[in-house]
């Protein structure tokens, strides 16, 4: 069997490392051709020595220069490194596990190069879903979702007719703060917000899970990936995180994908599809209970804000996303309170001048303006 040559964007992050664990498990099936990272030079150096890619990239120029002196492959640096590597002809699968908005342009490049896309970066579809899916259709490029919810939806939808779908049901653990009262949320610490009960993830996505913004992102992603109106997408709290998503069909049948909560399964499936390989995780214990709750949009308003952005479309999701990026970073640095996150996002969205049928340029402007607006609101700047 010919090895699949993969380019992994964001290889030093939490998801990137798990992608490389799948590569480790199947050395006869995969070869890591390119690796990119933001600033974690030590981890990237270790990965270069282990996987021997042809090229790597580090966004931090000084760290890239130092790394380049200690390894025998080219090390790119600067703002456009991801697009540069995405243009290469010597890989088959573009794996986007970048955090934040930096992955949008690289994904578009890979689509136009007709690469297979394995997408773990939520912001790509949240901010630019209309453009991404239009280009994917134009270039006949396959986008495989890596996150567990969209992998579940893909598997349940496989072979089914779109007109038979009654609704998509995206499950949600509820995050680290699921049981906090409205009063308790006023004094949430960084440590409490990072204390996710079922998933081991990076800090940013863990905070997004705590606010339920992450679930709002997934609704927007599903809307674009599966061409389903947001009104037909439902979020359900499922604390055990065993059912990863469901489809309810017109005849009232509900199809679910069930597995232990472990990212290695959707990662492996995205890379192996249409084949299924040996289980990369432990098998489900049928004695486990399954429970469900309705999300509380009063205690967790970020989900409602994301649903509003999904209904409005245009540049509003990008503005919301950028404001969230900024506020989560401020919270993790101890510069704002937990409840400042939805407060500032709501105001940024209210003051945003939405542009329908956005271009990449209008999305870029929306991101910059929303970030600046969030800073001004948080720090009461004029």
What's the pLDDT tens digit per position in 327-340? 999 999 999 999 99
What pLDDT shows up at residue 287?
A: 87
Instruction: Work out the pLDDT band at 154, boundaries 50, 70, 90.
Output: very high
Three-state DSSP at 284 gives coil
Q: Which residues lie closer than 8 Å to 83 by C-beta, 6 or more apart?
A: 105, 106, 109
Report the distance separating Cα 253 and Cα 247, nearest Å. 8
CB atoms within 10 A of CB 162: 9
Percent of residues in the chain assigned helix, strand, coil, to nearest 5 = 45, 15, 40
Three-state DSSP at 129 gives helix
Residue whose pair of structure tokens reads 């699968």 in the numeric block: 93
Convert 309-318 to b/e letters by CB count within 10 Å (16 or more is b).
Answer: bbebbbbbbb
How far lies 219's CA from each of 230, 250, 312, 328, 356, in Å? Answer: 7, 20, 13, 20, 19
Report the distance separating Cα 320 and Cα 311, nearest Å. 13
Q: Are 128 and 109 in contact (CB under 8 A)?
A: no
- Quickly count helices (H) and strands (E) in the chain: 15, 11
Query: What pLDDT, in 10s, does the model give residues 230-259?
Result: 999 999 999 999 999 999 999 999 999 999
Q: Are 319 and 369 in contact (CB under 8 A)?
A: yes
Three-state DSSP at 144 gives strand
Return the structure tokens found at 213. 């913004």
How far lies 244's CA from each of 34, 100, 117, 171, 222, in Å? Answer: 30, 23, 21, 6, 13
Instruction: Work out the pLDDT band at 199, boundaries 50, 70, 90.
Output: low
Entry pTM: 0.92
Report the distance separating Cα 364 and Cα 111, nearest Å. 19
> Does the pLDDT value for residue 31 go beyond 70?
yes
> Which residues are bridge partners to 249 per DSSP?
165
CB atoms within 10 A of CB 17: 17
| Segment 167-187 mean pLDDT | 94
Selection from 179, 180, 177, 170 nearest residue 207 by Cα: 177
Largest CA distance in the chain: 63
Mean pLDDT of the chain: 93
> Does the pLDDT value for residue 153 go beyond 70?
yes
Dihedral-angle region of residue 42 (phi above 0 means left; psi in -120 to 50 means alpha; beta otherwise): alpha
What pLDDT shows up at residue 202?
A: 77
Selection from 128, 124, 130 nearest residue 102 by Cα: 124
Query: What pLDDT, in 10s, does the model give residues 77-111?
Result: 988 899 999 999 999 999 999 876 678 899 999 99
Q: Are 247 and 160 in contact (CB under 8 A)?
A: yes
How far lies 11's CA from each of 29, 47, 199, 266, in Å? Answer: 18, 8, 19, 17
Instruction: Work out the pLDDT band at 196, boundaries 50, 70, 90.
Output: low
Kind plus residue range of the DSSP H or E element containing 38: none
Instruction: Domains for the chain: give ranges and CATH numbers.
Output: 4-145 (3.40.50.720), 150-308 (no CATH), 314-382 (1.10.1740.10)
């Amino acid at each position: 069997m010919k090895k699949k040559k993969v380019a992994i964007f964001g290889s030093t992050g939490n998801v990137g490392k798990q992608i490389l664990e799948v590569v480790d498990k199947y050395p006869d099936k995969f070869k890591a051709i390119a690796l990119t990272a933001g600033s974690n030079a030590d981890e990237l150096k270790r990965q270069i020595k282990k996987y021997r890619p042809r090229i790597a990239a580090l966004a931090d120029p000084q760290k890239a220069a130092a790394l380049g002196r200690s390894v025998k492959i080219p090390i790119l640096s600067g703002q456009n490194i991801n697009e540069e590597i995405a243009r290469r002809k010597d890989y088959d699968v573009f794996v986007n596990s970048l955090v934040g908005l930096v992955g949008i342009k690289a994904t578009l490049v890979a689509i136009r190069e007709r690469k297979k896309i394995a997408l773990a970066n939520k912001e790509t579809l949240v901010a630019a879903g209309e453009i991404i899916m239009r280009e994917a259709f134009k270039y006949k490029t396959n986008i495989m979702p890596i996150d567990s919810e969209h992998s579940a939806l893909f598997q349940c939808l496989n072979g089914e007719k779109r007109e038979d779908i009654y609704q998509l049901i995206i499950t949600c653990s509820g995050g680290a703060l699921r049981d906090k009262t409205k009063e308790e949320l006023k004094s949430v610490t960084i440590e409490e917000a990072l204390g996710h009960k079922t998933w081991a993830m990076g800090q940013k996505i863990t905070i997004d899970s705590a606010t339920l913004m992450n679930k709002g992102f997934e609704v927007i992603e599903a809307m674009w990936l599966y061409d389903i109106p947001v009104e037909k997408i439902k979020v359900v709290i499922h604390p055990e995180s065993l059912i990863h998503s469901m489809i309810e069909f017109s005849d009232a049948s509900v199809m679910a994908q069930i597995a232990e909560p472990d990212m290695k399964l959707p990662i492996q499936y995205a890379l192996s599809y249409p084949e299924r390989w040996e289980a990369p995780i432990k098998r489900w214990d049928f004695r486990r209970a399954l429970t469900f709750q309705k999300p509380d949009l009063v205690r967790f308003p970020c989900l409602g804000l994301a649903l509003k952005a999904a209904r409005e479309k245009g540049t509003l999701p990008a503005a919301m996303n950028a404001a969230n990026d900024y506020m989560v970073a401020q919270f993790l640095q101890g510069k704002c309170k937990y409840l400042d996150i939805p407060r500032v996002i709501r105001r940024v969205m209210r003051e945003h001048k939405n542009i329908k049928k956005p271009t990449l340029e209008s999305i870029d402007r929306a991101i910059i303006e929303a970030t600046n607006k969030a800073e001004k609101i948080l720090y009461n700047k004029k």
